[in-house]
Amino acid sequence: MSTPDGLPPLREVIAAHGLSAKKALGQNFILDLNLTARIARAAGDLAGSDVIEIGPGPGGLTRGLLMEGARRVLAIEKDARCLPALAQIAAHYPGRLQVVEGDALDIDPLAHGLQPPIRICANLPYNVGTELLVRWLTPPVWPPFWASLTLMFQREVAQRIVAQPGSRDYGRLSILAQWRADVRVVLELPPQAFTPPPKVSSSVVHLSALPAPRFPADARVLSRVVAAAFGQRRKMLRASLRALHPQIADLLATAGIAPTQRAEEIGIEQFCALARALAEA
């Protein structure tokens, strides 16, 4: 069977390198190169960008990124079994793919000479996806090193990222993401799109970094406020935020929030006003 890039089909790659999927590493592979090219296209203008990919596995999305013209791809993979398959891709695209073996939670991707604009594109291992997203969204200074994130999540997590106030999914992730980025779901994928199929459906979310946050606030204070507010989301804010400050009712009033309101009723602008009032208090 021929492939669009002339490399072997992914099923053959997996068989040749004995890449049986490991559940502990969140290994649900995409073997359809048309689909991985679509995900790569959703990441934006790759021809003028360096791309970081977390968890390339056998390289389906990596090949999509390279076929779509990424200037350079830095791929971080924890499973050493995948490295020979990835080396074959690197040889096919001289100078454009660098593979780093290790845990994405420990590796600094900026130590490898990437040039801006930098885009992050990944079919993330579900066990580390949310943690990486929160790290990328909460550096102390903005704009961040990345121009966009195009990331696969289980559908429930994607819905939380794009949720609006008043909805059941609205929470910490919605606020941290939408405070500093434009966010949208760009692709929905059923379990059958993966090998082996996971139990849940998945969505690709595209986040494009804003030049400045929508409203001023200190990232650490805002993170603390929303973590406390949504940690007990059914409670009134004067109760859920009590531990943050002895005069929390006054600070809520300064931010234009009634102390009897609940976290899911409060928009990003008001949470930022509350974070500023707390920082000043």
Least separation in angstroms between CB 174 and ligand SAM = 23
Residue among 50, 68, 79, 264 that touches ligand SAM (CB under 6 A): 79
Q: Tell me the number of residues near ligand SAM by CB under 6 A.
A: 23
When asked if residue 60 is in the footprint of ligand SAM (CB under 6 A), the reply is yes
Q: What is the CA radius of gyration of the chain?
A: 21
Question: 149 with 53: CB under 8 angstroms?
Answer: no
Q: Is residue 193 part of the contact set for ligand SAM (CB under 6 A)?
A: no
DSSP annotation of 235: S
CB under 8 Å to 219, separation ≥6 — which residues?
138, 139, 140, 142
Looking at residues 125 to 184 of the shown chain, list those that interact with ligand SAM (rule: CB under 6 A): 125, 128
Q: Taking contact as CB under 6 A, which single stretch among the options 19-27, 89-97, 109-117, 236-244 is the one that binds ligand SAM?
A: 19-27
Between CA 109 and CA 55, with CA 128 as vertex, the angle to 5 degrees is: 55
Contact range with ligand SAM by CB under 6 A, out of 100-108, 161-169, 203-211, 272-280: 100-108
- Residue 36 or 174: which CB sits closer to ligand SAM? 36
Position 77 contacts ligand SAM (CB under 6 A): yes
Q: Which stretch in 72-80, 108-116, 169-177, 227-235 sits in contact with ligand SAM by CB under 6 A?
A: 72-80
- Under the criterion CB under 6 A, does residue 27 sit at the interface with ligand SAM? yes
Q: How far is the CB of 220 from ligand SAM (least distance, A)?
A: 24
The C-alpha atoms of residue 33 and residue 51 are separated, in whole angstroms, by: 18
Residue 54 bridge partners (DSSP)? 76
Q: Which tokens hold the place of 133?
A: 């997203």
DSSP code per residue over 148-217: EEEEEEEHHHHHHHH--TTSTT-SHHHHHHHHHEEEEEEEEE-GGGSBS--SS-EEEEEEEE-SS-SS--
Residues that bind ligand SAM (CB under 6 A): 25-30, 54-57, 60-61, 76-79, 82, 103-105, 123, 125, 128
